[in-house]
Amino acid sequence: MNQHNNESTLPDGEIDVQLVETFEGYIIDENFALASEGYEVNAWFRHDWKPLTEEDITQGLKLLAWSRTDLLKAIAGLDLEQLERRYPGERWSIAGILGHVGGADWWYLDRLGLAFPRQQVPEEPFARLATIRGHLEKRLPELAGSQQVIGVDGEFWSPRKLLRRAVWHERDHTEHIHKLLMLSGIR
């Protein structure tokens, strides 16, 4: 956050960090269509029940923008061969990671019934990232105050979880790309 913003949103003084809750992911339905090994249910925290405020959404949109800037900075200057290079033991190329990040944003929206039809999801990774993020940014302000909590495929979803997961997921894969570039000696 400090790399993108001169104003801290953290309180002045010491910050008391405490572990309040943990969640252990688990696998359901080994026959689930998205993965041969089943579907891993990801964290649902008590905090995810809370409706998003307008302030949460404003801060969330900033985090999404900063995260996207960091992702695009990580891949700046890479040519097509570098984007499509396969790495031993890795599921995706960097282009594949980009497509996955965009697809995940669509999937998070779909959990709350906010996604556009799957057939309209662009295949090309950069178009996918831009199109789906634009849709997420458009829909997110509509969720202020929403108390929607829904179970989909054995997992709870809410607007707060959608935002939390979208920000975390892109940050996680940006670090994944940095790791691949370091391993390959590109950066």
Exposure of 90 by Cβ count < 10 A (0-12 exposed, 13-18 middle, 19+ buried)?
Answer: middle
Domains and CATH numbers, the chain: 49-184 (1.20.120.450)
Per-residue pLDDT tens listing for the chain (187 residues): 556 666 666 667 888 889 888 988 888 875 555 555 667 888 999 999 999 999 999 999 999 999 999 999 999 999 999 999 999 999 999 999 999 999 999 999 999 999 999 999 999 999 999 999 999 999 999 999 999 999 998 899 999 999 999 999 999 999 999 999 998 888 7
Task: Please classify residue 13 by burial: count the beta carbons closer than 10 Å to its beta carbon, then call 0-12 exposed, 13-18 middle and 19+ buried.
Answer: exposed
